[in-house]
Structure 1
Amino acid sequence: MENQKNNSSLKAIIIVLSILLVGSLIFMYKMSTDTKEVQTKLEKTLTEKQQLEADLKEKIASYDAAIADNTSIKGELEAERAKVVDLLSQVQKTKDDNKAALSRFKEDYRKLKREHDALLAENNKLKEENATLTTQRDSTMTALGESKKYNDTLVNQNENLSKTVEKAQKLQILNVHTQPYKERSSGKLIQTDKASRVDKVRISFTIAANEVAPAGNRTYYVQIIDPKNNVIGEKATEVFGDQTLTYSFITNAIFQNKTITVDELVAGKDFAKGLYTVNIFDKGVNVANTTFTLR
């Protein structure tokens, strides 16, 4: 009887221990499951945070590239970039398991992303427009450059043509001759080269034919210089720019594009022995000269 009682007690203990063991196993399994679930949620939260940080850093880099384009919306890009930088700083400071804060940050990020996408689209459009304007400007500058070269060429050609025409219109003075004379009382001129007898000098020259020179009156200033470097004749003066010309006489010729000869007599007295120089001027330009000698 005693043994039966002991066996019953032992069975009761075994049953209780079995129940406790099963309960412990169940509790341990639940704890393990809860821990894994918490860990999984934590890992998921951490992964989402890391992804959010990566996305934010990507948007900052994107803004940096857009700002470097230096378009007209640079100020707006910089302002939005500052917002992204601020959000990244908040995310980095938040604990890894703060799911509520992470959810709020993700919502803020979505708003900033929409603004980012809109601004980047506008920036790209402005870049394309600027590129088109730059191409058009370069084309215009090239065209202007070519036009300027062409105009410069025309100007040079016109200048050269003008110089050629001007040069061609210059009248050529040829065959300058001199002849000293003694005038008798009858008016007859006797050739002589003896200084004491000379009282007149004939100066003659030819104006060559020129088809392109304008016809009309031509004025020439003739200068005769004696051996003592004195100008004989009228000894009048004329100013051409900064040059003053003392001349012996003026001769006028009516030029009609054909060859003509100019012939003038210059009276004088007390002619000295030696070398005389005759210069012919077209305004202030010496166009011909010759010499003669009296003994």
Structure 2
Amino acid sequence: MENQKSNSSLKAIIIVLALLLLGSLGYMYKMSTDNQTSENKLMTDKEKLSEELQASIAKYDEAIAENTSLSDELSAEREKLVQLKAELEKSQGDVASMAKFKNDYLRLKREMDNLMKENNALKKQNATLTTQRDSTQVVLEDTRKVRDTLVAKNDDLVKTVEKGSKLSVLNLQTMAVKQRRSGKQIDTDKASRADVLKISFMIAENQIAKSGDKTYHVQVIDSKNNVLGDKKTESFGDKTLTYSFEKTVKYENKTVQVAQDLPVKDIEGGTYFVNIFDKGELVSKTSFTLR
């Protein structure tokens, strides 16, 4: 009887121990499974946070490239994200560390959102200023074109007035004569007989020209390029003129007939050239021939 009781107690103990072992194994399996799940979740959270950090860094890069007045502040905040990402990659990814990294990221992201809003506002202001500047430049360019057109028209008008105010010397004529003792002059085409060259010309009417004394220099040149008459020299700027005589005329905007005798002596036959100059500028010319 005692042996039977002892065997029954032993069996009971074995069953209890077996149940305890199975329970322990079950508990250990559950703990292992829970730990693996936690590790997987931490790894996923770490990768996701790293991606978010990289995306935020990329946004900073775009904003910095726009080169606004906030570029320095944007660069400083970007560097904080870069450092946080580097620390995250080095970490073991435990629960406490991940919680700290997330909090740091959320704090930096709030700062980033505020800076981005401010940067966008600056971009809009810059765009408005650029539009206003471009509009101002267009107005200034149009004003410059109008001014240049007016200046050109004024220059053309001045040139037209200057051109129109110049006096026209017309009907230049020269005739050789023989002067008698009585004062009578006889036309001749022989050089040996000529002792006076009669030169005449007309100054045309011009209402916009300036009235007053007008001085002309008359130059008579023989076939050997010798200047007859006074042979005086006058300078006009960088030009020098040798002339036969000077004639001053009182001009009152009406047609004026001008005549002048040039005494000559022992002239030879050939072609003679007569030129009239107004302040060094040739205004009329003619030629004649003596036998």
Match of 1:99 in 2: 95
TM-score, normalising length: structure 1: 0.91
Match of 2:183 in 1: 187
- Residue 33 of structure 1, aligned match among 25, 30, 33: 30
**SS of the residue 1:289 aligns to:** strand
Match of 2:220 in 1: 224
Match of 1:57 in 2: 54
1:78-102, Cα deviation, whole Å (9 max, x unpaired) = 2221221111011001113x22222
Match of 1:170 in 2: 166
Amino acid at match of 2:48: Q
- Residue 273 of structure 2, aligned match among 258, 272, 277: 277
Matches within 5 A, 1:135-214: 135-214=131-210
- Residue 81 of structure 1, aligned match among 78, 81, 105: 78
Amino acid at match of 1:151: R
Matches of 1:28 and 1:165, distance apart in 2: 120
Matches of 1:217 and 1:109, distance apart in 2: 97
Identical positions, percent: 49
Match of 2:43 in 1: 46
Matches of 1:151 and 1:162, distance apart in 2: 16
Equivalent residues, number: 291
Moved more, 159-168 or 236-245: 159-168
- Residue 236 of structure 2, aligned match among 236, 240, 246: 240
| Structure 1, gaps ≥5 residues long | none
Amino acid at match of 2:151: V
Kindly indicate whether residue 215 of structure 2 is the aligned counterpart of residue 250 of structure 1: no
Amino acid at match of 1:94: S
**SS of the residue 1:85 aligns to:** helix
**SS of the residue 1:292 aligns to:** strand
- Per-residue deviation at 1:231? 0.7
1:166-195, Cα deviation, whole Å (9 max, x unpaired) = 221122111111111221222222222221
- Per-residue deviation at 1:211? 2.4
TM-score, normalising length: structure 2: 0.92
- Per-residue deviation at 1:117? 2.0
Query: After the TM superposition, which segments of 4 or more aligned residues of structure 1 sit over 4 Å from their partners?
Result: none
Matches of 1:216 and 1:19, distance apart in 2: 148
**SS of the residue 2:97 aligns to:** helix
- Per-residue deviation at 1:267? 1.3
Match of 1:19 in 2: 16
Match of 2:259 in 1: 263
| Structure 2, gaps ≥5 residues long | none
Matches of 1:168 and 1:139, distance apart in 2: 43
Moved more, 14-23 or 154-163: 14-23
1:176-224, Cα deviation, whole Å (9 max, x unpaired) = 1111122122222222222122111111111122222222222111100
